[in-house]
Amino acid sequence: MAYKGAAAKSSSGASMSKYDVEVESRLQALEAAIKELQSDSNDTSDAGGESVDSKIDRLVAILKKTPSLGLDLYDNWNIIYVLWLVMSIEYRPWGTYEVLLDELDYKVKKIYVRPSKRFSLQYHNHREEHWTIVDGVGQITQGDLTTTIRTGEYAYIPKGAIHRLEGGDRGITFIEVQRGKCYEDDIVRIEDDYGRTWHPPFFVP
C-alpha cells in the first residue's frame, strides 16, 4: 500500500513523500559528517601511514556524534553495515536503484522513482525487462501507449521496445528483472529531462 498523508514540498515546490524527506535529511547529515572527516584528515600528518582500523574508528566517531543520523546507540560494526547499505544504493536524477542480484545473463534491481520524476524515453538492444510494482502508482509508456500502473501489477519490456516510467504523487517502487546481456550502459535514450540523451558505444541500429 502506498504511504498516505500530506506530502512535503521540495525547494522547487515538487511533492516529496515521507520517504523522500527522511532520505534527504539523512543524506545531508552524512555529507556533513564526511566533510568533517575529510577536514580532519587534511589536518592529520600521514607520516608512516594510518591503519585502516584507525580510519574506521575516526569515521564511526564522527558519525556517532551526528544526532540526525540516529546512529549513536549502534555499535561500530552495525554502523559500518549501515554505511555499506547507503553506499550500495545508486542515485539518479529520477530516484534510486539497488542491485539485488547480478548474474551472467540476468540481473535483479529494486528501483524507486520519485514523485513526478521519470526515466528517459529509452530502449535496450541487449536485454528484456520484467517489472513488478511493489508500492505506489505511476505512468508507464510503451511505444505510443501511456497507461497507469500500480501496486501488484506487472509490465514486460521486450528487447528494443521504447518505454518510460514516471512516478505518481507518492513515487513508485518496483522490482526489475533483466534478462540477456545486462550492461548498465545498454540504454539508448530518445528523450531525457536531464540532458543525458546519448547512444552507448556498442549501439546496434
Tell me whether residue 99 is in a domain: yes
Confidence of residue 11 (pLDDT cuts 50, 70, 90): very low
- Tens of pLDDT, residue by residue over 33-46, are 666 655 655 554 44
Same domain, 159 and 100: yes
Same domain, 187 and 97: yes
Chosen domain end from 71, 87, 103: 87
Chosen domain end from 61, 87, 113: 87
Confidence of residue 116 (pLDDT cuts 50, 70, 90): very high
Lowest mean pLDDT among 168-172, 187-191, 198-202: 198-202
Same domain, 139 and 117: yes
- Residue 205's pLDDT is 34
Give the mean model confidence (pLDDT) for residues 50-57: 64
Same domain, 128 and 100: yes
Same domain, 164 and 187: yes
Same domain, 70 and 97: no
The overall average pLDDT reported for the chain is 77
- Tens of pLDDT, residue by residue over 144-171, are 999 999 999 999 999 999 999 999 999 9
Residue 40 lies in domain: 16-87
CA–CA separation, 25 and 85 (whole Å):
16
- Residue 1's pLDDT is 42
Tell me whether residue 103 is in a domain: yes
Cell of 56: 574506521
Tell me whether residue 101 is in a domain: yes
CA–CA separation, 120 and 118 (whole Å):
7
Percentage with pLDDT > 70 across the chain: 53
Same domain, 80 and 99: no
CA–CA separation, 142 and 122 (whole Å):
10
pLDDT over 90 (residue 83): no
Tell me whether residue 204 is in a domain: no
> For residues 13-48, b (16+ Cβ closer than 10 Å) or e, as one string?
eebbbebbeebeebeebbeebeebbeeeeeeeeeee
- Residue 183's pLDDT is 85
Cα of first residue to Cα of last residue in the chain, in angstroms, is 41
Tell me whether residue 3 is in a domain: no
- Residue 52's pLDDT is 58
